[in-house]
Amino acid sequence: EEAFAAASGRAEALIVMPDSFLHNHHARIGDLAQRHRLPGRYPDPDYVRAGGLMSSATSVLAMGRRAAAFVDKILNGATPADLPVEQAMKFQLLINLKAAKALGIPIPPHPLTWADEVIQ
């Protein structure tokens, strides 16, 4: 609460980094961001579904599929050290129009076409 009150009027936006502690409090963080009128970019769709403005995050489903492919290779004899390092290729964009409206932020139509999910 104190951190949001201190940022209110001084910060223009909130960027939440991936963190399990913060994720456990995603609903409270979203509520405080709305109350203190801080638009936020979050690392996980759960924040947006709980009222946050937007998230851009790696697709957990896509990462799981890639992990399964690695496990398959290892179980079929590949040496883990010989497998290439990969980075996420699929990202999810979620936009919460209800939060945008409450914050007085107009979202142009074009970014909505990129979104994997738009919350009305």
Domain presence at residue 75: no
| Number of domains into which the chain is organized | 1
Judged against a pLDDT cut of 90, whether residue 113 lies above it is answered with: yes
- In this predicted model, what pLDDT tens digit does every residue of 29-64 receive, in sequence order? 989 998 899 999 999 999 999 999 999 988 888 888
Domain that holds residue 13: 2-59+89-119
Q: Enter the pTM of the model.
A: 0.78
pLDDT at 6: 86
What is the CATH number for 25? Answer: 3.40.50.2300
- Contacts of range 56-60, beta carbons closer than 8 Å, 24 or more positions apart: 56/91, 56/92, 56/93, 56/94, 57/91, 57/92, 58/88, 58/90, 58/91, 58/92, 59/88, 59/90, 59/91, 59/92
pLDDT at 58: 84
Domain presence at residue 82: no
